[in-house]
Amino acid sequence: MKLKPALQELYNTAKKARENAYSPYSRHKVGAAVRLENGQIFSGCNVENSSYGATVCAERVAIQSAIATTGPKIKITDVMVVTDATPPWPPCGMCRQVIAEFAGNTQIHAANLSESVQTMSFTEILPHAFTPEHLIDSK
């Protein structure tokens, strides 16, 4: 499958990040890349821990990298997740909630090493997400 250039760049970035994954327990390397409204791309890989709850998914690492570099006022337009799985894996529930914090009109792309890609809108994978707007005082 031939990806459009903008999506190919996101895919290549996530695939490269995947190579650095630390996954001795699941043995599944995951790479992710997020594109912000301003066009900047940030990547991340999964980092597992023997205390499983301390494991951090690639999507969250990419988002945290974006925030660490540019500050907290980000809007994510695209998230690309690359695994070796068929069908490709979408973000887990915890990652979906973190994406919700910074989502706009966000597209989620789940891909594998064969460049098979499934694309869906963020609202498709997490309808009725709990967002910062829920915490705004409604007085």
Q: Which class for 138: exposed (0-12), middle (13-18), buried (19 or more C-beta within 10 A)?
A: exposed
Domains and CATH numbers, the chain: 5-135 (3.40.140.10)
At 138, the pLDDT band (50, 70, 90 cuts) reads low
pTM of the model: 0.95
At 1, the pLDDT band (50, 70, 90 cuts) reads low
Round to whole Å and give the CA distance between 114 and 57: 21
Task: Write out pLDDT tens, residues 6-64.
Answer: 899 999 999 999 999 999 999 999 999 999 999 999 999 999 999 999 999 999 999 99
Write the CB contacts of 65 (distance below 8 Å, at least 6 apart in sequence).
Answer: 42, 43, 44
**Residue 20 near residue 32 (C-beta atoms within 8 A):** no
Percent of the chain with pLDDT over 70: 98
Round to whole Å and give the CA distance between 22 and 38: 30
Count Cα neighbours of 63 within 13 Å in the Cβ-side half-sphere: 26
Q: Which residues are known to be catalytic?
A: 59
